[in-house]
């Protein structure tokens, strides 16, 4: 408890200091300074309505929670959704999202902040997505008999909840009304520390989300400006990925290499272009409007296009696996039935491990492995089609978590 209070005391001060050098930390500090004014303004949009509060740490958790949000709106059309973010990356990209009624930062955890926020929002139900454990919010909600659900949660044995010194965090789990986990391992971990916690295996709502996206995706007009060569779409890439892509693309100039960097600020785009001096950016392609007659390297310097671009991939590559933070979303291209390739740092990503076990994707350690798998997909009769089918089947076999999650939400709302 003492360490948690120390964390709450130090974090805002450290973030403010880091904000002198780090734009993300600066945005978070600015958001926290303005959060109460923003909450007061947003109250008018939901006055007189029952509210479900959904909290997502960042953009990825929002994507995971979106099927849940849509299911709540369908089941309870008179309810309003109040969405909070911890990270600027989620808040700034989804501030005006039409799926929800209000978007704000979450005021930083604390006894006063938790009480004040719940007084102003007064939710009928609280849903935290995947991660996020804030003691005072959970304690205050429990004291007010507001049901709290942790949805699409995933746990690993090395987390502090399951250490001998993790008693404080184990107790925090018991504050949730229900914990909905992705798999049997997470279920057994939680039940091993407490038999009193209501925990259910519901699966991962991201499978429903990517399947929905694949089924509803529209065409991209500017793709007609590319040559008729097959495309390799590399999404959410970092500089380490660009090194691998550069080395590998030299062996395969019969493809359009479409690279979608994780960050599209000028510095990141310039860093990518230095490795691919003959590449053109999407902005340049659109400005010229010229139909390309040969395969090119295209660097996409706009946001919001990646998940739609995967439909045009012959083979997809997902970035992040050569960095310390790990890979990004391998499910998006798999939902289109595309073979997926990614870097070696996937040990924390159950969905990536599952996809390669299902033979719908490949983890690589270096350029040589990338080349080997590309050759397999290009040269072995029927192998490409088989991998495509495996990728799609993996998504379909794991869909359905939203329905199970909404069943628990309905149970709790009907009781409140």
Q: pLDDT tens digits, residue range 118-160? A: 999 999 999 999 988 999 999 999 999 999 999 999 999 989 8
Collect all residues with Cβ–Cβ distance below 8 Å to 187 and sequence separation of at least 6: 181, 199, 200, 201
- pLDDT tens sequence across 18-44: 988 888 899 999 999 999 999 999 998
Where does the pLDDT of residue 295 fall: very low under 50, low under 70, confident under 90, or very high at 90 and above? very high
| Cα 150 to Cα 181: distance, rounded to the nearest angstrom | 8
Structural domains in the chain?
2-203+400-415 (3.40.50.11720), 219-398 (3.40.50.2000)
| Cα 184 to Cα 384: distance, rounded to the nearest angstrom | 32
Query: pTM to 2 decimals?
Result: 0.90
The bridge status of strand 231-237 relative to strand 256-261 is: parallel
| Cα 213 to Cα 81: distance, rounded to the nearest angstrom | 21
| Cα 132 to Cα 135: distance, rounded to the nearest angstrom | 10
The pLDDT value recorded for residue 313 is 97
Place of tokens 């109250």: 43
| Cα 409 to Cα 127: distance, rounded to the nearest angstrom | 9
- pLDDT tens sequence across 386-404: 999 999 999 999 999 999 9
Q: Are 84 and 152 in contact (CB under 8 A)?
A: no
Where does the pLDDT of residue 348 fall: very low under 50, low under 70, confident under 90, or very high at 90 and above? confident
| Cα 296 to Cα 256: distance, rounded to the nearest angstrom | 5
The pLDDT value recorded for residue 29 is 94
Question: What is the DSSP code string of 237-257?
Answer: E-HHHHHHHHHHHTT-TTSEE
Collect all residues with Cβ–Cβ distance below 8 Å to 321 and sequence separation of at least 6: 241, 327, 342, 343, 344, 345, 346, 363, 364
Q: Are 258 and 234 in contact (CB under 8 A)?
A: yes
| Cα 215 to Cα 395: distance, rounded to the nearest angstrom | 12
């Amino acid at each position: 408890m003492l360490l948690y209070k120390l964390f709450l005391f130090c974090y805002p001060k450290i973030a403010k200091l880091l904000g002198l050098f780090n734009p993300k930390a600066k945005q978070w500090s600015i958001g926290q300074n303005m959060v109460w004014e923003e909450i007061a303004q947003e109250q008018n949009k939901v006055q007189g309505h029952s509210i479900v509060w959904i909290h997502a740490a960042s953009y990825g958790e929002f994507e995971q929670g979106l099927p849940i949000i849509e299911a709540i709106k369908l089941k309870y059309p008179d309810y309003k959704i109040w969405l909070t973010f911890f990270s600027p990356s989620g808040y700034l990209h989804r501030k005006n999202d039409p799926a929800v009624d209000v978007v704000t930062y979450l005021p930083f955890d604390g006894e006063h902040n938790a009480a004040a926020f719940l007084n102003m929002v007064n939710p009928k139900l609280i849903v935290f997505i995947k991660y996020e454990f804030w003691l005072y919010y959970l304690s205050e909600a429990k004291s007010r008999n507001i049901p709290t659900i942790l949805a699409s949660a995933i746990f690993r044995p090395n987390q502090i909840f399951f250490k001998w010194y993790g008693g404080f965090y184990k107790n925090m789990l018991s504050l949730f009304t229900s914990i909905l986990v992705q798999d049997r391992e997470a279920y057994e971990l939680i039940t091993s520390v407490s038999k009193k916690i209501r925990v259910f295996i519901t699966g991962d709502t991201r499978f429903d989300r990517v399947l929905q996206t694949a089924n509803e995706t529209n065409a991209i007009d500017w793709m007609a400006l590319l040559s008729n060569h097959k495309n390799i779409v590399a999404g959410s890439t970092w500089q380490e990925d660009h090194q691998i892509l550069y080395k590998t693309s030299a062996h395969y100039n019969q493809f359009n290499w479409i690279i979608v960097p994780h960050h599209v600020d000028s510095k990141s785009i310039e860093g990518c272009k230095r490795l691919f001096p003959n590449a053109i950016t999407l902005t340049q392609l659109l400005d010229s409007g010229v139909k390309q007659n040969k395969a090119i390297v295209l660097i996409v310097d706009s946001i919001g296009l990646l998940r739609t671009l995967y439909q045009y991939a012959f083979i997809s590559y997902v970035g992040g696996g050569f960095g310390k933070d790990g890979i990004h979303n391998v499910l998006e291209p798999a939902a289109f039935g595309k073979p997926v390739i990614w870097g070696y740092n996937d040990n924390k990503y159950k969905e990536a491990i599952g996809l390669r076990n299902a033979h719908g994707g490949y983890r690589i350690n270096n350029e040589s492995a990338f080349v080997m798998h590309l050759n397999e997909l290009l040269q072995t009769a029927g192998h490409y089609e088989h991998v495509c089918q495996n990728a799609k089947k993996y998504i379909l076999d794991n869909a359905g978590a939203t329905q199970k999650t909404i069943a628990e939400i309905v149970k709790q709302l009907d009781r409140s």
